[in-house]
Amino acid sequence: MDIVYIRDLRVDTIIGIFDWEREVRQTVSLDLEMASDIRRAAETDDIQYALNYKAVAKRLIAFIEQSEFLLVERLAEEVASIVRNEFNVPWLKLRLSKPGALRGAYDVGLIIERGVKP
C-alpha cells in the first residue's frame, strides 16, 4: 500500500458547541493519509493515474469553509466520507485538530481511520 498525504491543511470554519463558537470562525487543521497505488502514475508520469492531492484539498477546503458543525467528530466523518467516496480512496487516516481550543495545549482533536487497508 502506498500513501498519499496532506499535512496541516488549515481551514477556517464554524465549529463548536458554545454560543461564541457559533459566531466566530475557527481554524481546523487536517492531516490526511490516503491509500493509493501509485505504480501506474509512476510508470506513465501521467496525473490521470495519480490521486490528485490538489483536487482533494480544494474539495475539502470548499466543504469545510461552508460547513457549520457542532462537533469535530461529525466534521471528521464527513471529510472521510467525501475522500473515500468522491476520490475512490479505500482507506484513510485523518487527524483533525482545533489549534488553540484548549488553554495550555497546542491543539486538541481526534484521529480516525476508515476503510480497509489494501
Active site positions, annotated? 98
User: Each residue of 39-74: b (16+ CB within 10 Å) or e?
Assistant: eebeeeeeeeebbebeebeebbbebbeebebeebee
Dist CA 96 CA 28 (whole Å): 7
Task: With residue 85 as reference, give the H or E element that holds it.
Answer: helix 72-86
